[in-house]
């Protein structure tokens, strides 16, 4: 592992980043949640050496239990198989937002371990003493010498069980050095850290007792990065750089996101599920528009937000979030109406029946792509532990895959022609109107945008 120290951002540009050369045909964009699910289970069933999983959560539902059962079955068939699952410590020990008190997903982990024995350890990673102030948002499945990367977590809706799906992006990369690099962060940085504890046990440490260890973990993460031994990109190859991001300073992932936007000359595509852009990202996009770069932003309609609740359902404060994001979008659209009219700015709202939207990442011109779990919002920018894979494609070997993926996504979108095409705030459900007015009156909406 190598570490970042000193200045708040690297002195070198994108072209100087260390990268793994990967044959382009070994990088594949999967078609959707069904192929993602099928690939995940097939790879686990066929794993010979290791299965290391990083996700925000592994849910106590049908899909989550299916994943755990597959891991236990793989371990029983091949006892020497290395298995480890890393999820957020806090998220695993609470129930769903808006539901009653619960022991959370950790109760499932402990029950499965008691019934099937050891061999599938599940580690909780606390990046802060409270979930509100930051979560373990790393993503990626290392299975033998392959990396299956998606922003998805593991539950029914992400794996398209029971007629509903939450759309994400899904990529499979066959490359041992890249797999080793992602595995090393989990095995050598997270797993041995005193703050990282077992969740598959009925007896777990109290978060309060870990306060000092969590602080030390945060300092370790703020200075850590994925190990990369750079080699030149050969004919038919792309370069892939794994990126780690944590905290407001010395955050390599954030720095690369800004550099990607700033280097866009002809076209920039941004995927984000929650329209709440960090200030530096918004300013960088505005600068691209001034330079007449074509910018496409793909985001979910408020009804495709995972926090959306139909007006006829009981109201809780969390239900106001999709409306808050839409208010952000309305202001952005109004401020950039001229660019929309000129065709320089395309805002695409995704909506498909009762499904939801969770895409993240960037496409820049024809030679760079970022796949990431970062929502590219202030919370991801400053509070959460994030990662991503930067693909440098100077020979445009993957460009067709990227545009096929984009076209497939845009098939369920509408272009926002004018801010008045969005629902007006005074037509929102009354509880939402009251809450948003109260937040605006106290300027608490700015604080809410920073942490949600």
Question: Binning pLDDT at 50, 70 and 90, where does residue 231 land?
Answer: confident
| Mean pLDDT on 238-265 | 96
pLDDT at 2: 34
pLDDT at 102: 62
d(Cα 374, Cα 387) in Å, to the nearest integer?
Answer: 7
Question: Binning pLDDT at 50, 70 and 90, where does residue 209 land?
Answer: very high
| Mean pLDDT on 236-252 | 96
Q: Which domains does the chain have, with CATH numbers?
A: 25-222 (3.30.870.10), 237-451 (3.30.870.10)
Q: Is 412 a catalytic residue?
A: no
| Set 156, 200, 386, 393: catalytic member | 386
Q: Is 386 a catalytic residue?
A: yes
pLDDT digits (tens, 9 = 90+) for 111-126: 999 999 999 999 999 9
| Mean pLDDT on 235-253 | 96
Long-range Cβ pairs for the range 90-93 (8 Å, 24+): 90/124, 90/126, 90/130, 90/131, 90/135, 90/207, 91/56, 91/57, 91/131, 91/135, 92/57, 92/58, 92/122, 92/124, 92/199, 93/124, 93/199, 93/204
d(Cα 215, Cα 212) in Å, to the nearest integer?
Answer: 5
Q: Strand, helix or coil at 24?
A: helix
pTM of the model: 0.94
pLDDT digits (tens, 9 = 90+) for 45-75: 999 999 999 999 999 999 999 999 999 999 9
| Set 160, 348, 355, 358: catalytic member | 358
Q: Is 168 a catalytic residue?
A: yes
Q: Is 392 a catalytic residue?
A: no
pLDDT at 438: 87
| Set 61, 88, 90, 137: catalytic member | 137
Longest dimension (CA), the chain: 62
| Mean pLDDT on 170-184 | 98
pLDDT at 295: 98
Average pLDDT, the chain: 93
Query: Burial code of 219-251, b = ≥16 C-beta within 10 A, e = fewer?
Result: eebbebbbbbeeeebeeebbbbbbbbbbbeebb
pLDDT digits (tens, 9 = 90+) for 77-96: 999 999 999 999 999 998 76
| Set 60, 88, 168, 346: catalytic member | 168
Residue 358 reports pLDDT greater than 60: yes
């Amino acid at each position: 592992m190598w570490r970042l120290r000193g200045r708040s951002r690297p002195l070198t540009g994108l072209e100087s980043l260390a990268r793994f050369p990967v044959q382009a045909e070994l990088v594949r964009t999967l078609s959707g949640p069904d192929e993602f699910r099928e690939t995940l289970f097939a790879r686990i069933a066929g794993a010979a050496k290791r299965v290391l999983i990083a996700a925000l959560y592994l849910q106590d539902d049908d899909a989550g239990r299916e994943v755990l059962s597959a891991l236990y079955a793989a371990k029983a068939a091949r006892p020497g198989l290395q298995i480890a699952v890393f999820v957020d410590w806090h998220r695993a020990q609470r129930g769903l937002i808006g539901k009653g008190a619960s022991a959370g997903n950790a109760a499932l982990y402990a029950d499965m371990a008691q019934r099937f024995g050891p061999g599938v350890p599940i580690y909780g990673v606390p990046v802060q003493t409270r979930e509100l102030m930051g979560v373990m948002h790393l993503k990626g499945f290392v299975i033998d010498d392959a990396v299956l990367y998606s922003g998805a977590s593991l539950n029914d809706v992400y794996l398209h069980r029971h007629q509903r799906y939450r759309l994400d992006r899904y990529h499979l990369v066959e490359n041992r050095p890249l797999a080793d690099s992602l595995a090393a962060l989990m095995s050598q940085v997270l797993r041995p850290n005193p703050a990282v504890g077992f969740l598959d046990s009925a007896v777990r440490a109290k978060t309060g007792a870990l306060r000092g260890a969590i602080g030390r973990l945060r300092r370790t993460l703020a200075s850590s990065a994925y190990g990369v031994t750079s080699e030149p990109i050969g004919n038919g190859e792309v370069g892939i750089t794994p990126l780690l991001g944590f905290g407001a300073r010395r955050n390599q992932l954030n720095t690369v996101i800004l550099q990607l936007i700033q280097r866009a000359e002809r076209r920039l595509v941004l995927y984000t599920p929650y329209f709440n852009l960090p200030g530096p990202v918004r300013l960088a996009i505005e600068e691209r528009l001034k330079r007449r770069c074509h910018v496409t932003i793909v985001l979910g309609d408020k009804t495709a937000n995972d926090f959306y609740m139909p007006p006829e359902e009981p109201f809780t404060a969390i239900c106001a979030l999709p409306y808050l994001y839409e208010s952000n979008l309305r202001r952005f659209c109004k401020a950039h109406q001229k660019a929309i009219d000129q065709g320089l700015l395309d805002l695409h709202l995704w909506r498909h029946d009762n499904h939801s939207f969770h895409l993240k990442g960037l496409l820049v011109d024809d030679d760079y792509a970022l796949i990431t779990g970062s929502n590219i919002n202030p919370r991801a920018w400053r509070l959460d532990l994030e990662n991503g894979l930067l693909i440098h494609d100077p020979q445009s070997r993957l460009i067709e895959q990227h545009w096929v993926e984009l076209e497939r996504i845009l098939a369920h979108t509408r272009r926002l022609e004018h801010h008045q095409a969005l629902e007006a705030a005074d037509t929102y459900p009354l509880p939402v109107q009251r809450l948003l007015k109260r937040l605006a009156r106290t300027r608490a909406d700015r604080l809410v945008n920073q942490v949600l």
